[in-house]
Amino acid sequence: MKLYNLTIFFIFSLSLTNAISAQDLAILKYSGGGDWYSNPTALPNLINYCNKNIDTKINPKPKTVEAGSSDIFQYPLVHMTGHGHVFFNETDVDNLKSYLTSGGFLHIDDNYGMEPFVKKELKKIFPNKDLVEIPATHPIFNTAFSFPKGLPKIHEHDGKRPQAFGLFNNNRLMLLFTFESDLGDGWEDQEVHNDPQDVREKALKMGANIIKYAFEN
């Protein structure tokens, strides 16, 4: 491991030690022209829900962190979304690999159109790993709230079934890619998409499961 990575690992270990008293989440800013900033009310609403319902103490205002920044190691969970193009340069690739294999967690929520770009860019980070579908029996579907059928369907998009894919490191789920679900739209303010309350509640509960799982694993 490079000296840079050793230093980052030490910093990240310290940040995880202090995670309970200083819980911050971040939104990933990436290159390629995709709208990484979409769904601006989503993560703040999810944080508010978690602080009220699963006893977290997360900063209500999520940060923004660039894919290649060492600041990413301050956050036990980073959320990524958008509608299209994603590009990771060499610095991004090295940084994200160190973050994820050191204990970080990345949730990528396809807001529609990200899938082919995400899969291509993830191969840069982990060329020998493939996204695998996560079964409904995985603990992430039962950490705070029970989803016996797995990932809920929030928005129709192409009408396909919702799927949760993951990348694992030593049996630890380090990256979650939610596809054909669009949890983030369900987290947004109600007037943005006019989703029924029960649909929004499902999205928020699944989001709470993700956060609880990332904090505890």
* Residue 22, domain member (yes or no): no
Q: What percent of the chain has pLDDT over 90?
A: 78
- If we measure between CA atoms, which residue out of 93, 57, 70, 67 comes closest to residue 215? 57
Q: What is the pTM of this model?
A: 0.89
Tens-digit pLDDT profile for residues 194-203:
789 999 999 9
- If we measure between CA atoms, which residue out of 103, 111, 127 comes closest to residue 27? 111
* Residue 199, domain member (yes or no): yes
Per-residue pLDDT band for 132 (boundaries 50, 70, 90) equals: very high
pLDDT above 70: residue 36: yes
pLDDT above 60: residue 7: no
Residue 195 gets which letter from DSSP?
-
Q: What sign does the CA torsion over 49, 50, 53, 57 have?
A: negative
> Among the listed ranges 44-53, 76-85, 96-105, 189-198, which one has the minimum average pLDDT value?
189-198
| 8 A C-beta contact, residue 1 and residue 36 | no
Q: Which domain holds residue 166?
A: 3-13+28-216
CATH number of the CATH domain containing 174: 3.40.50.12140
Q: What is the pLDDT of residue 67?
A: 98
* Residue 19, domain member (yes or no): no
Number of domains the chain is built from: 1
Give the Cβ contact number of residue 192 at 10 Å. 13
| 8 A C-beta contact, residue 45 and residue 128 | no
